[in-house]
Structures are given as structure tokens and as C-alpha cells.
Amino acid sequence: MKNLVNKGFKYFVAIMMVFSLMSMNAWANGPESSTSSETGSTTTENKGTTKDTGDSQGDTADQLISNEEKKTTTSKESDDKEGQTDQTTDKKTDYTYEDKKISVKAVLANASAISDQAELRVKEIPESTTEYKKYQEALNKKSNLYSNVLLYDISFILDGKEVEPTGGNVKVSMSFKDQQLSDDLNVKDNNDLKVIHFKDNDVNKQETLNANTNVNSSTTTFDMDSFSVIAFNTVDTSDLGKPDTSFDYKNLLGDAINYGIVTDNFVLNGGDAETNVATKLGKCLTQTGNDKTNDMEQSFILASVDQSFKIKGYQAYVQVPTADANKVTHSDSNKLIIDSSKTRVQLEQTVQDMEDHLNSWSTNLINKQDNAKIEYNKYSQKYSVDISGNDAGTYYISLDDVMMQNINGADRLQIKKKDDQTIVFNIKSQNKVLLNKFSINDLSPETFFHNSDDSKVPQSIIWNIPNASEVNTQGSITGIVLAPNATFNLYNTSSGWLYAQTVNIKSGEWHNVYQHVKQIRKPAVVQLHVIKTVDNKDPDSSEDGKFNFKLQEAAVSNGQPNWNDLTDRRTVQNSKSLVGFKTNINFNIKYQNDKDVGTHYYIISEDYINGYQPDHNIYVKVVVNKQEKVKNYDNPNNIVEETILTASVTYYSDPNLSTEMDDPKINNSKVTTTTTCKISIQKTVNGSAPGDKQFKFNLDEGSLDSKGEFIKSKNVQENATNDKNGNVTFNELNYTEAGTHYYMISEEDKDNANYVSSGNIYVKVDVHKSADGKELETNVSYYKDPDFKNEINVSSTNKPTINNTSVKFVLKKTDAEDNSKTLSNAMFTLQKLNSLNETTNTLEIGDNVTSEPVSTNDSGLATFNNLSKNKSYLLTETKAPNGYDVSGPWLVIIKNDGKIEFKAIKFNEDSNTNYSVIGNSVKNFDVLTIDTNPASIGDKQKKYTLPSTGGMGTKKYYLLGTLLSMLGVIYIVMKLGKGGLFGKEDHS
């Protein structure tokens, strides 16, 4: 039995020796392969760079070290983990996406650029969204593209976030299942398609990708190195050729420009002709005309008329080729003028010239229609013509293939052009044509009724319909309509020039911007004046100054003036020295339009200036009358109407207009009126009354520069202080003249190193006359901005306030992988720096800010108070939350303006004075917002099951092995003295 035990003990000792050797080896190598709390844990690097989707400041020290350091640490761990399979190598290169409309394949040039676990996502941006319009507008700013664009957002998704490839291009192949390239974009070959990438989804960062397109298979392939929104569109219109610059529509119209309608047969059948009409035969099936009070321009009809043609109401001028006036019934017979047919012959020649010119379009210029194209958008079901990016000139477009009958509904045809461009729409193959309402530069045709400023637009849209027998309107139109062989039926009010065999106005009106008669007006000119005196006598040599006089017109209500509703007409200033003479102040007013006829009321007033008080205002009534005389109507192309305006003026000394003045005079008396005001603000510290804390304030006066911002000119008061309740009141200000004064209140904060001020307050003091004009009054308003736009709403509970915020630093402890997860019980120390040199990256550490380390609370927040501006600190995490490694340290640099610069650093080896800034780790904060925007610091979780740094860790196992090894050695030595460890024992 003893022998058996002895042998068992021998084997036990042998096993312990082996274990001891392994322990000693681990003892020697363990510190290098284990993870210390000083460096933080090392985790497997994720493939791809996650896009920044928030305003995170969660950079840890491990996140900010260089990639080379990460690779070295990872390599050492791999060597120590014998037999462990490498799980970080990504081998996948092909990623696919497919839905009902598209199929997409992305092939990586570098397999490690994206993690194998990532997914390819392709999202179409619909045309109806505001996002689509944003990108389309951005495209059109770069070049003139057609209206159809296909937009897709292409991205890689990993763990619910978008990631970008970290290196190498990605070849993307897209297959369109519904033939979108040919059907939607009208792509005919590889050169037609343009693929544009919006880098970082920024509309201003556009790059054109080299695409290889196969129209038959509806596929395209291109390379990308980053992913965001892609636009597919057709090429711009710059290759469509040059326009015809020989066509001049003004010369083409000739004398016919004075007539809105030229026709053989003119029929009024329910509507009105608000234009000059040239016709061989005119018929009126319904009584027409407008009431005189409508102030409409006159119709002008050159016609042979039958007995049914009756004209009433406003001025209508009828010319007939014979002297048979009995065929015409007119309410104002002296306006009936009988003339020869000479003018009609001239117009017929003009129309024939236009028809000849149009015929040449059909033969010699047929190929010119390729200079512009009409596009159809199947989504909006609208036709569009956009030549706004092309050269000046005339563009010819055929609408035969479009079929005007198919353009149903309002604004189905959209035209975009410049003022120097003319569009000719040729409709030559149809017998019956329907013209629908359309838009020009987003304006409907109604815009051009009675608007002579827009006359160029109707003249530059030409509808050439040479072969149709019937033309009808569906909706308002505008332009030059040439249908010499057709009956034109008008159903909607329209404008422009109309040339047809028969014109039948069934409803609505036809307007022409040249419909008015040339008028000669003789305006009425009046001179309103006032005499200036001082102390009821002529100014003497001792009086020298400037006096401002203002003329204002009063609104009229129920025939009476409203003196509270005034409009400035003119302001004059007498800048002469008032030396021994009467000063006459004159205002000249010209009345020349019909709208000026009637009674006008004015006030002549003088501003209070230089201590002189005016005694009253001058009230004026001006009556304007019109004397109209018509003459020279014997030529319809040179018709003149003369209007003479007259005016009478009456002056009054009172607003009731009861006391007339033959000699309007304003007398000034010397006065010494003064007024005062006090400017005051509120001072708070961290939102509360300052108590015993006192702060100093300056009051400066200035003016506004050309940008409307305050410029200091002089100091009014220095070192004003607050009381315990925070009230700050400046010395009383005195004023002797009306005017506006601007001030700035600033806090003298050079001694307030522990506080940051909320900013200056700006004050405007308006000094003005009282209602009776005898006293001066002040109105004080406060503003937050130097341009005096953001006014402070002052009340008993809301006063203009300068608040001081204590300088402090707030940090937020989070999980490094999940910034939304806050961590409590992390401990930090903040130490003052006696010196910091950011050029040489050296520092000297001083005293702790707090006597004990500061722990993060349940919200992960830790606050350091009582800090100073223009100081630097070292922040160190002394204890990480349970299950996490510490990170850091960091520099906290507080600027003189209260801005905080936050830098992650690491100390150089064996040094606590030399440091390096880790990567792109600089973050900026503001003391005024640090409570709501704390500095975020992320800690990494421990990744291993071995004991944490700071306890016994693996060392206790190494110690046990060493002790056992020592016992084994002692035993061996003892046994060797008896014949060796495994020698034969003496049993004697």
C-alpha cells in the first residue's frame, strides 16, 4: 500500500512540474497578450465606414487611434489564440437587389470594402415627392435637361445603418424591367443616357458617371466609389441646332398690328370684341357693348354692316365703305365716321403677305422644326416645350403628330421661353382643330388681357393653321392665330391677333393689347406753396437753420378726406440761411390721367427742427376736371383723341376745411422744449438675481452702417453696475430735437473669468413731437441684434436681460457601440494645467478641480463647475462602469469667448507631459449650451472572460503553479539522495 501511494505521489509531482512550466511561460508572456485598463479592449474591426447620421461626440480613445495601431494589437491577439479561426475576413464581392421594376447588381473590386453581412438597397424616389423636385431643380441649374428624370437612392445597409465602401470601386449594373430608358427617358442609344451621382446626397455635388448603356436590353453599367442618389436623364438640348433669326414678327404684322381681328365675315353671337376689327361684312346677332362707367377701351370696327348690327354703350367707332349710314344704329351719332375702303385694301395685302410667308414655312423651312421638340410626360399627361436655355430666334414645332384634340384640360401644354424667342406651332394636316388653354412661363393666357407690358408674349406665340376649315377654342388662348381658310369659333375670353375667313364670337371676348386709340392729353399742373415766417416776421440775420416740409395726400372715404390715412407725396428742405427774406416752399403736382380726375386732399406740414415750433399745418383741396375733345378720326391707323385736364386749388388752416387762407403761411416760434428718458436692463446669473455679485456695463451711442448694423461713435456711460435684484439703470438722457438715436449696452467682462455673457442689448430711442406738436416725446425699444430687427417684447415680467452663465463642463458617458445607452458610476478627475503648448504638444499638470473624483449619474452625466475662461484642463477617467474599460484622457480647453475645445489625446510612452492628439478628435462646444449639448464619451465593453485589470487576474494561478513547482524540486532533491526519483526503492 505504501508503495502504491509513493508511486502516485511521484506521478502527481511530474504533472505539477509540467503545469508549473506552463504557468511560468504564461507568467512571462501574459502581460503582453492580455488587455490592460490603460489601453482599453481591442475588438474586431467592422468592415465599411458607417455614415454619420447624427451629431454624436461619442469618440473614444480606441476609436481615435490610428488603423496601424489597431492592426498591431489585433495581430498580437491572433498569435496568442492558437488554433482560433479568423472570423473577420470578408470574401463576398457580389451583392444584388431586385423588385418589380428593376434588378441591380453591385460587384466589389475589393472584397474587404464592405462586410459580407451588408445588404444592397435600391429605393426609387417618386416624381410626386418634394425630394424629387429638389434634385430635378438642381439638375436644371447645371444644364438644360428634359423634364423626365429617374431617381434612385442606392446604398449598402449594415446593422440598420448606411455604410460606404472603404476602398476600391464598385461596378453597378442596373436592368430596367419596364423599358424605362426608352419609354420614360426616350433613350435611343448609349450616348443619349446621362447618369449623374449626387455625392453625399448633396444637390450641389454632381458628378457625371461613365455609363455603358444597352437600350435593347434596357441595362446600364457604371462604376462608383461612394453611394447616394443617382439620376438617370437624357442629354441636354444644346445639340438641337440653331434657331431661325431672320423672322421678325413685328415687320410681319405691319399695319395689321392695329387690328386684333382681320376677317371677311365678323359675327357677334353672344360675346364682345374688345379690339379693333377689320372686316368685309359684320353681323350682330345679339346686342353688344359695355356700359360707359366700366371705363373700357373702345372697339374699332371697319366694316360693311347689315341692319341687325347694333352698338351701344362705350365709344364704338364704325367705318363703312359707303355713305349709307341708315344701316347703322348708334347711340352717339357724332362718333359715326364714314370713309373709303382704302384702309381695308391695305389690310388685305398685309394678311396676304403673312399667308405667303407662312406657305414658305411649309416648303423651305420644314427642316427647321427640329430646332425645338415637344415632349410628353406620361405621368403628368402634359406636353412641354422648353427653349428657355436656347439662343434667341424663331423655333418651328409641328403639332400634327401630337393631335391637338388629345390635349384636353387646362394647362396641358406648357411653354417655357425667353422674351427674345418666338415659337411657331404648325398644325397643317388637320381639317378641324381644337385649341386648348395652355401656359407660358407658368402664366395662363388671362395674364395678357389688357396688359400692354406683356404684348411681346402674345406676338411671339404663333398658331399656323393654313388648311383647317374649322377652329374652336376650349379655354383661353393668346398669340397670333393664322387660319385664313377656317371659321374661327371663340368660346373663351382670349387675346392677341386673329386672322381667319370667318370669326364667330359666341361667348367670351377677344382682347388686343393695341386696342386703344392714340391719345393726346394736356395735363393740369399746379404749384402748391407755403410761406415760412419766424415769430410772425421775416427771418432776420440771427436765424440760420434748416426746415423740413412734407406734402402728404389723404385717402378719401365717402367723399371726405381721412387725415389719419396719409401717403407721402414729396418732402423738401429749405437749406438756405433764413436771412431777411420770406421763404416760399413749393410743391409741383402734375395731373395727366383719367384716374386723376376728381378731388384730392393734402397736408403741408413742417417738422420740428432746431428748437422752432410750427404753429399749424396747411390743408389743401385740389379739384381736377377733364375737358375732352375728339378730333381727327378720318384715318383708323392715326386716330387721335385729345383730353384737357384743369385744376383749382384752395388752402385751409384747419382739418375741417372751414377757414380758407388766401396767403398760406406757417409761422415758427422759438422754443426750448426738451425731453428725457432712462435706459435700463436686467442682470441675471444662471437665470437668477445676482445678489452680492456685481457686474459692470457700458452704454455706447452710434449709427447704422450701409448694411443696417450698429457702429459705435461715442461712449455715453461706463461702469454702470447692477443692484442685488439685477436692476441696471443708466444716467438720464436729454434731447432737444426730434430724431432717432441708437445705443448698445455691453457687459465689461474682463474680470468675470468664471462667467459667459449672453450678449449685447441694442436700444433705439425715437424722439418725436407730441400729438399737439408742442412737446417732445420719446419711445424706447430694445433689440437682441445689431441690425435692430429682433425686437424684445418688454413687459413687467419680461425685461431686456443680460444673463451670465457659470463656466462649467458637462460630459455624458455612453456605450461606445450604442450612443443612446448611457452609463452611470464612471469616475472622472479634472486637473488644471499649469501650462499647455499646442505647438509642441506639451503640458504641465496642476491641481485637481475637485477634491474627489466626480461620478456619472443615472443619466450618464457628470458636471464640473466653477471653471474659468481662457484656461485648460486634463480630464481623466479613473474608473469605468462595471463591464467596461476606461478611455481617455482628454484636453478641455475653454476659450475666452466661452467656446470649449475638447480633444482626445494619448501620452507618449513613459511621459505625462508629452502627448499626441488622437486622429480627428477635436470637438467644439459652447458653455451657453453645454447643459443641452454635453460632450459625449463612449466606453467599450470588456470582450474577454479572464479577470479584469485591477484585481488578481491570472496572476494568482501563476503564483500557485510556481509554489507547486518549488515543492516538486524539493522533493526531487530529497529523493535523489536515495537513488533518484524513479530509482528502485530500498524495501529492506
For residue 611, pLDDT over 80 is answered with no
Least confident of 187-201, 359-373, 844-858, 904-918: 359-373
C-alpha cell at 638: 392715326
CA neighbor of 542 nearest in space, from 600, 611, 607: 611
**If you average pLDDT over each of 78-87, 315-324, 862-871, 950-959, which comes out highest?**
862-871
Contact 703, 738 (CB under 8 A): no
Whether the per-residue pLDDT at 257 is higher than 80: the answer is no
Task: Please name the helix (run of DSSP H) or strand (run of DSSP E) that holds residue 10, with its range, or none.
Answer: helix 2-33
In Å, the largest CA–CA distance within the chain is 173
pLDDT at 950: 43
The conformational region for residue 889 under phi > 0 = left, psi -120 to 50 = alpha, else beta, is beta
Identify whether the C-beta of residue 215 lies closer than 8 Å to the C-beta of residue 189: yes
When pLDDT is cut at 50, 70 and 90, the band that residue 935 belongs to is confident
Give the pLDDT confidence score for residue 120 in this predicted structure.
93
Higher pLDDT, 590 or 168: 590
Indicate the helix (H) or strand (E) that contains 72.
helix 67-80
Q: What is the DSSP string of 887-901?
A: ---EEEEE-TTSEEE
> What pLDDT is attached to residue 550?
84
Cβ proximity of 867 and 873 under 8 Å: yes
Q: Could you read off the pLDDT of 815-849 as tens digits, one per residue? A: 988 888 999 999 999 999 999 998 898 999 999 98
Q: Which tens digits make up the pLDDT trace of 689-710?
A: 999 888 899 999 999 998 889 9
Give every strand in the sheet of 739-748, ordered side by side.
710-721, 696-704, 739-748, 761-769, 776-783
Name the region of 965 (left: φ>0; alpha: ψ -120 to 50; beta: rest): alpha
Asked whether the beta carbons of 636 and 516 are under 8 A apart, the reply is no
Residue range 840-860: average pLDDT? Answer: 91
Which residues partner with 812 through β-bridges?
861, 936
Q: Which three cell numbers stand for residue 465?
A: 393653321
Question: pLDDT at position 40, please?
Answer: 39
Please tell me which of 340-354, 612-626, 638-652, 819-833 the model is most confident about, judged by mean pLDDT: 819-833
Contact criterion met (CB below 8 Å) for 35 and 41: yes
Task: Summarize pLDDT for 120-167 with one digit per residue, the tens.
Answer: 999 999 988 889 888 887 876 655 445 578 999 999 999 989 998 887
Comparing 180-189, 425-434, 469-478, 606-615, the range with the smallest average pLDDT is 606-615
Question: Residue 299 pLDDT more than 60?
Answer: no
- The CA distance from 802 to 59, in Å, is 35
157, 163 in Cβ contact below 8 A? Answer: yes
pLDDT tier for residue 619 given thresholds of 50, 70 and 90: very high
498 by DSSP, 3-state: which? strand
Q: What was the pLDDT predicted at 16?
A: 62
Whether 616 shows a pLDDT value over 60: the answer reads yes
The mean per-residue pLDDT over the stretch 846-864 comes to 91
CA distance 426 to 432: 14
pLDDT top residue among 789 and 268: 789
| Bridge partner residues of 893 (DSSP) | 872, 901
Least confident among 303-317, 339-353, 880-894, 945-959: 303-317
Q: Tell the residue number behind the cell numbers 437600350, with chain if given.
A: 215
In angstroms, the CA 385 to CA 397 distance is 9
Percent of the chain with pLDDT over 70: 66
CA angle 546, 551, 554 (to 5 degrees): 150
Determine what percent of the chain is predicted with pLDDT higher than 90: 23
Alpha carbon distance 208, 225 (integer Å): 13
Lowest mean pLDDT among 123-132, 642-651, 914-923: 914-923
Residue 654: its pLDDT value, please?
92
pLDDT tens digit string along 181-196?
Answer: 888 887 877 777 888 9
Judge whether residue 25 has pLDDT over 60. no
How many Cα atoms within 13 Å fall on the side-chain side of residue 759?
A: 8
Mean pLDDT of the 859-886 span: 90
Q: Indicate the residue type of 697.
A: F
Cell numbers 403673312 label which residue? 354
Q: What is the pLDDT of residue 64?
A: 36
C-alpha torsion angle, residues 106, 143, 441, 433 (rounded to 10):
-70
DSSP state of 44: P
CB under 8 Å to 481, separation ≥6 — which residues? 435, 463, 465, 471, 488, 496, 497, 498, 499, 500
pLDDT surpassing 50 at residue 988: no
Using DSSP's 3-state secondary structure scheme, residue 448 falls into helix
In this structure, what C-alpha cell is assigned to residue 567? 401717403
Q: What per-residue confidence (pLDDT) applies to 954?
A: 54
SS3 160: coil
What is the grid cell recorded at 364? 423651305
CA dihedral defined by 682, 687, 691, 694, rounded to 10 degrees?
Answer: -60
Give me the amino acid identity at 533.
T
Cell 400729438 belongs to residue = 771
Output DSSP code: residue 774.
S
Bigger pLDDT: 271 vs 28: 271
DSSP code of 22? H
Determine the pLDDT at residue 605.
85
**Average pLDDT value over all residues in the chain:** 75
pLDDT band for position 297 (cuts 50, 70, 90): very low
Residue 888 backbone zone (phi > 0: left; psi -120 to 50: alpha; other: beta):
left
